[in-house]
Amino acid sequence: MSLTLSIIFLLPLTSIFVFLLNSNRIYILLSSLIHLVASVFLLYLPVQDFYYIKVDFFASLFIFLTSLITFLCLIYLYNDSVNSPLYTVYILLTEICLIFFFSASHFLLFFAAFESVLIPLALIIGSFGSRNLRFVAALQLFYYTILSSFFMLLSFFYIYTQSNTLSMAIIPFFHIDLTNECILWTALFFPLAVKTPLFPFHVWLPQAHVEAPTIGSVLLAALVLKMSGFGYIRILLPLCPRACMWFGFFVFCICIIGGSYAAFTAASQSDLKRIVAASSIVHMSYAVIGVFNMDSLSIISSIYAMFAHGLISAGLFFAIGCIYSRYGERDISLYTNLHKKMPRFSFAFVFLAFANLAFPGTANFPAEMGVFLGTYANNGIMPLLLMLPLVLNGAFNIWGATRLCFGPDKAGDTAEKAVELTFAESFVLYSCIAFILFFGCDTQFIMAGLEEFVKDL
Q: Evaluate whether residue 109 is within a structural domain.
A: no
Q: Evaluate whether residue 398 is within a structural domain.
A: yes
Q: Evaluate whether residue 291 is within a structural domain.
A: yes
Q: Evaluate whether residue 273 is within a structural domain.
A: yes
Q: What are phi and psi of 383, to 5 degrees?
A: -60, -20
8 Å CB contact between 52 and 1? no
Confidence label for 381 from pLDDT (cuts 50, 70 and 90): low
Non-local (6+) Cβ contacts of 227 within 8 A are: 98, 101, 114, 117, 195
Domain assignment of residue 453, given as a range:
247-457
Domain count for the chain, please give it: 1
Q: What is the pLDDT of residue 1?
A: 59
Q: Evaluate whether residue 346 is within a structural domain.
A: yes
Q: Evaluate whether residue 151 is within a structural domain.
A: no
pLDDT tens-digit profile of 423-443?
889 999 999 999 999 999 988
pTM score:
0.93
Q: What is the pLDDT of residue 402?
A: 81
Confidence label for 415 from pLDDT (cuts 50, 70 and 90): low
Q: Evaluate whether residue 226 is within a structural domain.
A: no
Dihedral of the alpha carbons of 84, 89, 90, 92, in degrees to the nearest 10: 140
Q: Evaluate whether residue 275 is within a structural domain.
A: yes
Average pLDDT over residues 344-367: 90
Average pLDDT over residues 415-420: 66
Rama region for 286: left / alpha / beta (φ>0; ψ in -120 to 50; rest): alpha
pLDDT at 176 over 70: yes
Mean per-residue pLDDT over the chain, rounded: 86
